[in-house]
A and B are shown apart, each in its own frame.
Chain A
Amino acid sequence: MPSLEALAAVPLRPADQVMRLARMGAAFQTRLSFMRQLLRRMSSDRWRFERVRFDVDDNGFGASVYAAHGPERSYSLVSFTRDIPPEERTDRVIAKVWDGTFSLFDGIPTDEDIARLAENTPRQEAGRFRASELVLARGNKSLRLFEHVVERLSRGEQPDAEVLCDVGYLMRTTAVYGSGKFGCADRLKIAERPELAAPFQAEMLAVYLIRWLTIDLVNHVARCRGGDAAVSLDPDHARYLGIGNSTGLGMVPFLVKYPELIHNWVAARETALARVRAIATASDADIADFVGLIGRARRHVGEWRVEDAAQGQRIDRLKADLSALADWCGEGLKTSHPWDAAYRFAEEAFSPEGQELTVSLLLEERGDLVDDLGATMSANGAFALDPAMALGNLKDLIDTHYGWALGIDYDDPTAQERFWYYSEDKLEPRLGERFKEPGAEREMPLSVGRDAARLFAAVQARDPAEPVADFLIAHPEFRHMVRRVQGAAVAPYGEIRDNLLAAGVRPLDVLRFKLAFFGVSKFDPKSDLWTRVNMFQGAPLPLELASGWDGEWVFPVRPGAPPTTAGEGAL
């Protein structure tokens, strides 16, 4: 590992650079992402997987229980699949029925537990859950791919890899709730379990088991349809199938609500990058591995298909960036601090997506320097308010960490054209137009920039020696903002440094940032408000994990695809 002196020579990227929406909206998964952490742990701890129950009919409808056994505890995915009317198959929170509904149970459920969940899990938000349930989720099939795969398998053939590539999953989740939602277990219950200590591990485990179920479902339905002629998905095709996810606005309030947590995510990634950039030399083998990884990333990006024109252009630019990086490596890495040179080359020449994918690539090969940082990504507390702080010091903090907010003219209607709120309709998070729709007086407190600017103005008008405690008596409306500002001093990456109320705000950027930390791939924006993505595509199957999968699975490419990049290194 580089010395502390070397690390000091490569400072972390500043929050003003990495916490801007345009940068956040270009994020990629890294080996610190949560699903990557989960699979590494399950592999190293040799988790076992068991199909405890599979009571489904010939069409794949029924109940099933899939268990994952860790060294100390077991977790079970309890699933209910059913036939639903096509016109009711929506990804929105306001949906009332789904093809599949799921609970991640803490342990192995009894028949009584399953009967209780059968009454509640299919009702989702309208059901009621106990602390024995860690996660509540639901999903809808990709009807096109599900039917294609079943049809092919039932005839004894593997699915068309091109069709697999188009969609990439048999089912997409439309919500994955954890941490105390609807009565499920709070984070408090699991935070000290080593296997669930990193963020969102229970949620990721649930999704991983859902993926297993979907593969079993197509095999089962194909067998029922085709009889002896049917075959099962071969491992290469099965591994290429991830699980989809449809993500909307709900992730935005989450990111604003937990600045302590978000800081820890970003600080871990940025520390990892600084560690890699501080490496003084690279061996020929290191360089060959890196070039090979770029080649695989190029093939993966080549299979990234979207309808959104803007994202399509970004992908084209990304392909060019990766090509340039591959060309540069031949000479560029033959220098001292080669990985720092690679990053600086990307920063000077590439698009934001090209830069952030370069970060992902740089981290990928150095698990020895990176993986321990996964343990620093949780947060179990919140900032404490310091009422003794003098207003002069508070003002300095605002100046330092909210400078981005102070230059905005909030009297300009476009600066706060939007407002965020919970709808009465199933508490669905929505984004409204302040001057056209009712309800702005009930907006969520996502107006961080505006509130920081207002706080700054109020503080400027007072005695700098006045303590915060006295100020808050006169201005109680700033209590939450004072706490945030004080927190930013110790957690500078915790704040999105852009105006979430602005006319042109793209919630999509926030969604992508969070989803990248989850570890998803193939961002497929459907508007500025929502995106579909793929989770666990390329990940080892449960039985492969159990038998000791010791590789990584990043940048999956479709089965049977020939290398398309000249000079691609061995993988």
Chain B
Amino acid sequence: MSAPATPLSLNEIKFFFTRAAVGAGAPFGFGESFSKSLIFLAAIGLDPAAVAAPALDALAEGTSVPVAAFDDGPKGLTARPATEGAPVSAIYAGPAVADRLLLLAARGDALPVLLPAVDQPALVLAAIGTSSLAAPRIVISWHNGTDAIRMVRSGDGVDISGTTLAGLVCPAPASATVMLAEADGLPPFSAEAFLKARSGRLVEGVAVDGESFAAVQRHFRKCLVPSTDRSRIAGAGAGLTDND
């Protein structure tokens, strides 16, 4: 890891990371969800660029793919990748799983969702965390080859076991399970209240790893249009010379 870059504001995270997802191949709506998820992870102390960069690279390179469907099975729903055998991209899977859980909740159901291989499981929990799903406790668990990792969103916080914060960044796709857990009388979760409670951590800016952010910016720049003489002269407002 290189030295931390200058902290980014939340506005910058939204601007750069939303468009970086688009640059990597995701539709804009998924880019919006992606940047919101990264702010959620920043709120628990995780470097958003560190988890975003590998997710973006995997999507852009085609090694991770969108979710094609959720199949019913004896253990719950299973995410089917758009390409058989490929891991699903968390940039797609996060919002898709959140949508699925909300749909199940609207029907009074709460089945586990299995992701046979997902590139960044932490992003999936974050996408659920930023959705309007009010379930008091949600668990995502996966295995990184050595340890069993659990992220639990409950009450007004997120508990992690089996790894450090930095260990939430997955070096390789993992099989993950998302499930609603016993609530123990906890109040409904509110993404807004969660972020408000952590505003102290966010208002001074979010430190990001310089190398990872450079990788994010490589995807972001794919959304920019090269300047031409024509566009420079005629493509924008305001005068090129002073005249008042």
* Residue of chain B at shortest CB distance from A84: B242
Contacts of A87 in B (CB 8 A): 241
B203 within 8 A of A: yes
Interface residues on B, range: 35 or more
Q: Is the CB of A479 within 8 A of B30?
A: yes
Interface assignment of B205: CB less than 8 Å from any CB of chain A: yes
Asked if A193 CB lies within 8 Å of chain B CBs, one says no
A187 to B172, CA, bound (A): 36
Q: B227 to A185, Cβ gap below 8 A?
A: no
Cβ of B165 under 8 Å from chain A: no
Whole-angstrom distance between the Cβ of B95 and the nearest chain A Cβ: 7
Within 8 A of A (CB), among B191-236: 192, 195, 199, 202-205, 221-228, 230-232, 235-236
Is the CB of A105 closer than 8 A to any CB of chain B?
no
Min CB distance B22 to A, Å, is: 9
A90 and B239: CB pair below 8 A? yes
Size class of the contact patch on chain A: 35 or more
A480 within 8 Å of B (CB atoms): yes
A69 at the interface (CB under 8 A from B): no
A472 to B214, CA, bound (A): 31
**In the complex, are the beta carbons of B6 and A530 less than 8 A apart?**
no
Tell whether, in the assembled complex, residue A93 and residue B239 are in contact, meaning their CB atoms are under 8 Å apart. Answer: no
Interface hits, B104-154 → A, CB 8 Å: 106-107, 131-132
Cβ–Cβ contact B241 & A90, under 8 A: yes
Question: At the interface with chain B, which of A108-116, A290-298, A434-442?
Answer: A434-442
- Chain A CB within 8 A of B1 CB: no
Query: A131 interface residue, CB < 8 Å from B?
Result: yes
A431 within 8 A of B: yes
In the bound complex, what is the Cα–Cα distance between A118 and B6 (angstroms)?
A: 18
How many residue pairs, one in A and one in B, have C-beta atoms under 8 Å apart?
195
In the complex, are the beta carbons of A185 and B131 less than 8 A apart? no
Contact B12–A180 (Cβ < 8 Å): yes
Which segment, of A27-35, A138-146, A263-271, A540-548, faces chain B? A138-146
Look across to chain B and name the residue whose beta carbon is closest to the beta carbon of A167. Answer: B244
| Contact with B28, one of A172, A388, A480 (Cβ below 8 angstroms) | A480
User: For residue A551, which residues in chain B have a CB less than 8 angstroms away from its CB?
Assistant: none
Q: Which of A147-155, A225-233, A246-254, A493-501 contacts B (4 or more CB under 8 A)?
A: A246-254
Digitize B15-52: 1 where CB-to-A-CB distance is under 8 Å, 0 elsewhere. 00000000000111110110000000000000000000
Please measure, in the bound complex, the distance between the C-alpha atom of A418 and the C-alpha atom of B223, giving whole angstroms.
17
Chain A positions 123-177 with a Cβ under 8 Å from a chain B Cβ: 128, 130-131, 140, 142-145, 167, 172, 174
A477 proximal to B (CB < 8 A): yes
Asked whether A477 and B27 contact (CB < 8 A) given A90-B242, A180-B11, A472-B96, the answer is yes
> Once the chains bind, are A423 and B102 in contact (CB under 8 Å)?
no
A381 is an interface residue with CB less than 8 A from chain B: yes
Q: Which residue of A lies closest to B33 (CB)?
A: A479
- Shortest Cβ distance from B173 into chain A, in angstroms? 20
For A527, the chain B residues whose CB sits under 8 A away are 237
With contacts A89-B241, A246-B238, A422-B224 known, is A437 near B203, CB below 8 A? no
Residues of A participating in the B interface, judged by any CB pair closer than 8 Å: 86-87, 89-94, 128, 130-131, 140, 142-145, 167, 172, 174, 179-189, 244, 246-249, 381, 384-388, 421-425, 427-432, 437-439, 442, 445, 467-469, 472-473, 476-483, 507, 511, 526-527, 529-532
Q: Can you list 27 contacts pairing A with B, beta carbon distance less than 8 Å?
A: A89-B242, A90-B238, A90-B239, A90-B242, A92-B237, A92-B238, A92-B239, A94-B232, A182-B12, A185-B203, A186-B10, A186-B11, A186-B202, A188-B199, A188-B202, A247-B238, A386-B102, A387-B98, A388-B107, A423-B227, A423-B231, A437-B231, A467-B103, A469-B96, A473-B67, A511-B237, A531-B237
The 7 A-B pairs with the shortest beta carbon distances in the complex, nearest first, are: A479-B29, A248-B237, A180-B11, A530-B237, A180-B9, A439-B225, A480-B29
Excluding A388-B103, A530-B237, 17 further A-B contacts by CB distance (< 8 Å) are A131-B205, A172-B244, A186-B11, A387-B103, A422-B223, A423-B225, A423-B235, A424-B226, A429-B236, A437-B235, A439-B225, A476-B66, A479-B28, A480-B28, A480-B29, A480-B32, A530-B238
